[in-house]
Amino acid sequence: MAKEEQDLLEKVVSLCKRRGFVFPGSEIYGGLANSWDYGPLGVELKNNIQQLWWKKFVQSRDDMVGIDAAVIMSPKVWEASEHIKSFTDPLVECKKCHQRFREDQIGKDCPSCGNKEFSEAKQFNLMFPVHLGSTEDSGVTSYLRGEIAQAMFVNFKNILDSTRVRVPFGIASQGKAFRNEITPGNFIFRTREFNLMEFEYFVREEDWEKWFEYWRKEMLNWLKDLGIDLKHVHEVEIPDGERAHYSKRTIDFEYDYPFGQKELYGLAYRTTFDLDNHMRSSGEDLNYVDPESGEKFVPHVIEPTFGIDRSVLVALLDAYHEEGDPAKDGASRIVLKLPFKLAPYKVAVFPLLKNKPELVKKAQEIYKNLKQDFNAVWDDRGNIGKRYYAQDEIGTPYCVTVDFDTLENDTVTIRDRDTAKQERIGIKDLPSFLRDKLS
């Protein structure tokens, strides 16, 4: 990893901790390796990403419905989906230091001790077993879900029976997934517990290529919504033998992380693999019947999948900017250039001086009013320059300052995060100014 790039990850991780985006998990107990908690700003960013996705792919479309399913499903689901048999990664052990690695993620030398001899690769299952029941010898063993997709297949009949969807249509979901990863790491890039959003899009067999192409383009459009420069994204066709067990075609969207080009999202053609398996195992009829022609068939599935934590990570990496050279002009700033819709706070409100009650009173009025419609934040610490610096660092797009002119003419200054330019604007125009940025 180049020094500069390594620095970028370190800087983002440090900013996340310092300003309350992401904290190391269980920290007061010395931490739990590869577990992370979203803090006050991180949860806003993550929720904004999830809400934007839900609005784009579910609420604003006529061909998509959502579900929110249980994390623990019947073990029969995972047998039918072949996750128990095939959801594995190849594991090798270094013969010298006995560290274990994913065979496909290392070169010829052990990343830990440099030794060149490894054990034979064996297939390591990623599913997390959970014991259900109050005693060791009663109850059943099931699994924390390894992907959220299965709930969409298992509820396929419920959706057909309770809604008016017609092929082509999709079922979408967001939520936690769990995988006993052999080598988690790189901050929130690969963890054992992570957040996913994805949909299963049901189509006629003859249309699968058309829809695969359609969703490929929509995934790129989504990345633009996240503010990602598409120069940092690469589409990689996954060859035979390397795809997940259910997929006949997969494109991975890979991103230039500071630790290398790696997977961000995936797009898979799952054929009728899952519905066929569940039909066979459950005995339920999972055919779709065309209401006009009466034609009966099992729909084919296109699946766009989006890791939420990786979305948060790339949004932060792409947004992170350092401007100015402290050695040259003494003025430098860190700016998170997050798109308005993703920014944790949309606007900060300050009184020019903290010790002037008339300014504080007016600024509080404006703040409380804006807070009803936007996530606004109050700041009266230090001087204005320090407040701007603090807001730039967490990506707040606008700062509103109440000064003595405000008391005369009901105008304020509004400062733009990216250009650092200020303009005067009427107090009454603030809500529409901000609302425009949301559309």
Interaction of residue 42 with ligand GAP, rule CB under 6 A = no
- For ligand GAP, which stretch binds (CB under 6 A), given 115-123, 257-265, 274-282, 336-344? 257-265
Interaction of residue 92 with ligand GAP, rule CB under 6 A = no
Q: Which of 198, 256, 274, 403 binds ligand GAP (CB under 6 A)?
A: 198
Q: Give the tokens for residue 389.
A: 């610096």
Q: In this complex, which beta carbon is closest to ligand GAP, that of residue 128 or of residue 433?
A: 128
Conformational region of residue 178, where left means phi above 0, alpha means psi within -120 to 50, and beta covers everything else: beta
Q: In this complex, which beta carbon is closest to ligand GAP, that of residue 307 or of residue 344?
A: 307
Query: Cβ atoms within 10 A of the Cβ of 377, count?
Result: 21
Interaction of residue 219 with ligand GAP, rule CB under 6 A = no
Tell me the C-alpha to C-alpha distance, in Å, between residue 237 and each of 240, 252, 274: 10, 7, 22
Interaction of residue 254 with ligand GAP, rule CB under 6 A = no
Q: In sequence order, what are the residues at sequence separation of 6 or more whose Cβ sits closer than 8 angstroms to the Cβ of residue 1? A: 258, 259, 260
Nearest approach, Cβ of residue 393 and ligand GAP (Å) = 25
Nearest approach, Cβ of residue 211 and ligand GAP (Å) = 16
Q: Which of 278, 310, 346, 387 binds ligand GAP (CB under 6 A)?
A: 310
Binding residues among 128-187 for ligand GAP as defined by CB under 6 A: 147, 149, 179, 181
Q: In this complex, which beta carbon is closest to ligand GAP, that of residue 37 or of residue 416?
A: 37
Nearest approach, Cβ of residue 198 and ligand GAP (Å) = 5
Nearest approach, Cβ of residue 229 and ligand GAP (Å) = 18
* Torsion sign (Cα): 391, 392, 394, 398: positive
* Torsion sign (Cα): 38, 40, 43, 45: negative
Interaction of residue 58 with ligand GAP, rule CB under 6 A = no
Interaction of residue 403 with ligand GAP, rule CB under 6 A = no
Q: Give the tokens for residue 150.
A: 């299965």
The answer to whether residues 254 and 236 touch, using CB atoms and an 8 Å cutoff, is yes
Q: H-type helices in 131-255, by residue range?
A: 149-154, 156-162, 208-225
Q: In this complex, which beta carbon is closest to ligand GAP, that of residue 152 or of residue 370?
A: 152
Q: Single out the residue of 129, 152, 184 nearest to residue 309, CA to CA.
A: 184
Q: Which of 38, 222, 265, 350 binds ligand GAP (CB under 6 A)?
A: 265
Nearest approach, Cβ of residue 170 and ligand GAP (Å) = 13
Q: Which of 82, 263, 380, 393 binds ligand GAP (CB under 6 A)?
A: 263
**Cα–Cα distance, 415 to 434 (Å, whole number):** 12
Query: Cβ atoms within 10 A of the Cβ of 183, count?
Result: 16
**Identity of the residue numbered 96:** K
Q: In this complex, which beta carbon is closest to ligand GAP, that of residue 73 or of residue 334?
A: 73
Print the binding letters for residues 289-308 with ligand GAP: x by CB under 6 A, - otherwise.
--------------x-x-x-
Nearest approach, Cβ of residue 436 and ligand GAP (Å) = 32
Nearest approach, Cβ of residue 66 and ligand GAP (Å) = 16
Nearest approach, Cβ of residue 213 and ligand GAP (Å) = 19
**Cα–Cα distance, 201 to 63 (Å, whole number):** 9
Interaction of residue 274 with ligand GAP, rule CB under 6 A = no
Interaction of residue 258 with ligand GAP, rule CB under 6 A = no
Nearest approach, Cβ of residue 183 and ligand GAP (Å) = 10
Using alpha carbons only, how large is the chain's radius of gyration in Å?
A: 25
Q: How far apart are the first and last CA of the chain?
A: 39
The answer to whether residues 23 and 180 touch, using CB atoms and an 8 Å cutoff, is no
Place of tokens 């979305």: 311
Angle, CA 416 vertex, CA 414 and CA 422 arms, to 5°: 50
Q: In sequence order, what are the residues at sequence separation of 6 or more whose Cβ sits closer than 8 angstroms to the Cβ of residue 209? A: none
Q: What residues line the site for ligand GAP (CB under 6 A)?
A: 147, 149, 179, 181, 190-191, 194, 196, 198, 263-266, 303, 305, 307, 309-310
